[in-house]
Structure 1
């Protein structure tokens, strides 16, 4: 029995938006007016507003051969709220715009929106607007996230200071290894008729790519412990690239220690199977959506025993440059080989 398929064109643009957004319930007092008017109205009651936008393009940022639409909807929200958390702020609203070709049915878009709504509920954000249009080919997603922060509590990339600790949340490199596995299985599937993909029960690395999570828990921990990082950003392009961003914008140098960089045992094991270096995956992989932040040394006692936060190095004077010290004690210049949206 074939699945039901409703052509998007049968609804028209306004009918489509109304259909996909008819059950929205607002979660934030700051959302005064949402979907259904010419513009949304938001009042953050004296707090400062943080805004970020991301584009996700089929064939550049995701491959629908192995990315379920519900997961894609979820991830589209997560990658944006992660940027809000990276400012030490709380996400409150998103807008979502799509360009879709006629190869997508209404049911396919409903599946995508299901993922969007699950993420909105998980992170306490309201979908308050957006746009839909047709695309000649492929699927284009644009999400804008809006957040709030107490006056002057936002954290920039440009304010790290020499002798600060360099810290990361969670594990790094897993999403990149998940991508390698899925790309390998896609290639085999396309080249060998009848062969079904074998993901080897590697749920951890596949999940890190297809359904990442943003680190709200870390921001809540900072608030509880009255910690304000000296600089922060999320890790979307690999640790080395992000550390170099902070170094450049803060006018500082850095030292990282290879043996301090956290890689999950499942990711390590798969990297060894592929005969690649797990540290290289963490440094250059990307899409982990963990937080990279610098702290004053006076905050060390507050974070030293916290599960999920690791000190991986320290900030130096700019003249010393940015380096990594290997397990063997060798010192190498840190280079950015992270994922580049313009490299394809």
Structure 2
């Protein structure tokens, strides 16, 4: 397949690009190269004849027409999005422009291309979303594909809106769409504003490790390479019009995850041990969802997919990757907002 991947220089997008190229697909990576993007994450495939890069902003509708005409993709995987909840609290307008209007622009460009090429049966528009659209769970229960939407942050509301747009284009225009909603991703190449890289890099620097509230918030942790594998599986074998929830089957409270990282660092960098002495509880995020958990029954039964990496294995691999790849993450610490507490304007 020739796949147009938006946001391919981001964390999840770059993992999908790498796996798609390694599997023999042609990939066109469309990315605006905003603050969280890094083309260094694609160095392993950048010289491949199967890889092409287009710098464009998904808010720029005319750019899409040019790119679709030039590359004529067989499928679209839409990962480009503003994704950091704290940034959405401080500046929600950009999230609406990118995640809602940008998705609309891409849908219209894809629909135009699909119709102009005779509506090929094999074309797919795969929209990648988040479990945060479902809101917050109590101590029991899990999100299914039929869970009502209940977004609680500007970020999750913007993703919920984009999900609805994609389904509407499928129902109204017949565009062959797929939607996936995933749990919290982690792993190598993660931009250093999210919890796990923040913990690793703060601990390495001997600085306080910030934990929101009392650290009891629970997430289902999905290793990013598992997620990329699931996304390509859905793209190739998923039923048109279907939604698939993708989870890691690895629930953990934030504080337990932080202590797991610290224990791994105690082993690998004993000179800084015990690293958990650096844990510092800070004022909670406004509207912080208490718990997310995915029921992955549909993707397991229909497509035969399950995650392969436990959270213990994934954390060990992730910590080692950051220790071995300072040249990748060190320059990112100077980017706007990194290292500062965001999301307090509410």
TM-score higher than 0.5 here?
Answer: no
RCO comparison, higher one (Cα < 8 Å, 6+): 1
More helix by share: 2
The structure that is strand-richer by fraction is: 1
TM norm structure 1: 0.28
